[in-house]
Amino acid sequence: MDVFAATLAAVLFAGAPLALAALGETLSERAGVINLSVDGTVLFSAMAAFVTARATGDAWVGMLGGAVAGAFVAGVLAVVGLWLRAPILAVGFILTLLCRDLAYFLGHAHARQPGPDLGVWTIPGLADIPFAGTVIGRQSPVVYLSIVAVAAASFFLYRTRAGLRLRAAGESPRAAFARGIPVERLKVLYCLAGGAFSGLAGAAYSLGVKPGWGHPQGAEGAGWIALAIVIFGGWRPSRVVLGAYFFALIQVMGIHLQDVLPGLSSTLFQIAPFPVMILTLLFINIRRSGRFRDAVQNVPLLGRLAGKPPAGAPGALAGVLDQDAA
């Protein structure tokens, strides 16, 4: 029981930045903007957050710095990709490489230096309950932040007018525009908001989950996992967060398995999420394919085993990510 609770706590901890980054990308993609720069944004804002926290001595100002850095990168994407209409996948990818190198270059002087971090919060009352206390009673603030962010994003998307307009803009830009929704402005807005979330994810790494800064930082590749999680979660915050925990579980299991199977290198476990990412996407896409639907008609058991397929991409993205190359 204790091991189980400790594992759950570790999953919540490792999954918090992934959840933040994936939520940001969900907002952005819901509005019809694919921001491929997440991986670079996470690293750049991890650096920016750590440097800000060191300069001010306050980790929370550092979090703010991370969010601003993330929104800034998204701003560059918005200017070149949305305003100048350069191909947005290309711009996002270039920004990923650029931000990663920029983070290493600008952060060089701060590498392996001591700096503030967010520490651990103890929730009075909750921390004393046997099982829940271990899981959620004593955690890094970024864990609570990620949980609040999920609830807020879910509520915003499905229960508010602004969320409805956002979904409309991403689902069917032309129809939304015809109804008087300023589609382009919303795209820019949620691109920036998504960037700020990715920035918080970076800050959550350098100030919480992997405190400190260096080359490499240890958050490399997380942004790419976050991009896959968005598809995994079918662009719905609740499922997206489950995806983040699923991938965090793989990482945590890797650490546990290392003790059981010392012959396998730790680096091998670091790459484990990526093959899993490919297999998950494959599984999801096969369930959505016409051939699978035909098979379910003949063998209903298959459909019951596979469950309900998650929702597809927002209309504006469907052509890009869900393409059919048959």
Partner 1 sequence: MKSPSPASINILSALALALAVTLAVLFFAGAPPLTTLAVLFGGGLDSTASLLKTFSSFIPLFLCATALLATYAAGLWNIGVEGQITLGAVFAAGFLRLPDPGSFPPVLALILALAAAFAGGALWALLAGALRVYGRVHEIFSGLGLNFAATGVTLWLILGPWKRAGMASLSGTEPLPEAFRLPGFAGKPASMAGLVLAVAAFVAVVWLLKRTTWGLRLAAVRQNLKAARLIGLSPKRRLLEAMGLCGGLAGLAGGLLVTGLYHRLIPSISGNFGYTAILAVLMVSLAPVFVPVSCFFFAVLLAGAVQLPMALELDSSLSGVIQGVLVLAFLAAGRMGIGGRLTGDKT
CB closer to partner 1, 148 vs 286: 286
Helix H, strand E, coil C: the string for 164-225 is: HHHHHHHHCHHHHHHCCCCHHHHHHHHHHHHHHHHHHHHHHHHHHHCCCCCCCCCCCCHHHH
CB closer to partner 1, 141 vs 195: 195
Dig out the tokens for 275 from the structure.
Answer: 């093959």
Q: Which of 54, 58, 93, 156 binds partner 1 (CB under 8 A)?
A: 93
DSSP, collapsed to helix, strand or coil, labels residue 12 as helix
Residue 318 in the binding site for partner 1 (CB under 8 A): no
Residue 80 in the binding site for partner 1 (CB under 8 A): yes
Burial of 114: CB neighbours in 10 Å, binned 0-12, 13-18, 19+? exposed
Rounded least distance, CB 68 to partner 1, Å: 15
Q: Which of 148, 271, 302, 311 binds partner 1 (CB under 8 A)?
A: 271
Q: Which of 61, 156, 274, 303 binds partner 1 (CB under 8 A)?
A: 274
Rounded least distance, CB 144 to partner 1, Å: 30
| 183, 188, 192, 193: CA torsion to nearest 10 | -10
Residue 57 in the binding site for partner 1 (CB under 8 A): no
The window from 10-18, 166-174, 203-211, 318-326 that contacts partner 1 (CB under 8 A) reads: 318-326
Residue 259 in the binding site for partner 1 (CB under 8 A): no
CB closer to partner 1, 102 vs 126: 102
CB closer to partner 1, 71 vs 157: 71
Dig out the tokens for 122 from the structure.
Answer: 């103890």
Residue 54 in the binding site for partner 1 (CB under 8 A): no
Rounded least distance, CB 40 to partner 1, Å: 9
Dig out the tokens for 71 from the structure.
Answer: 């929104």
CB closer to partner 1, 82 vs 132: 82
For residues 8 and 275, what is the distance between their CA atoms, to the nearest angstrom?
23
Query: Which H helix or E strand runs over 139?
Result: strand 138-139
DSSP, collapsed to helix, strand or coil, labels residue 324 as coil
- Residue 76 phi/psi, 5-degree rounding, is -60, -45
Chain residues binding partner 1 by CB under 8 A are 36, 76, 79-80, 84-91, 93-95, 97-102, 104-109, 215, 221, 224, 227-228, 231, 265, 267-268, 271, 274-275, 277-278, 281-282, 285-286, 288-289, 319-326
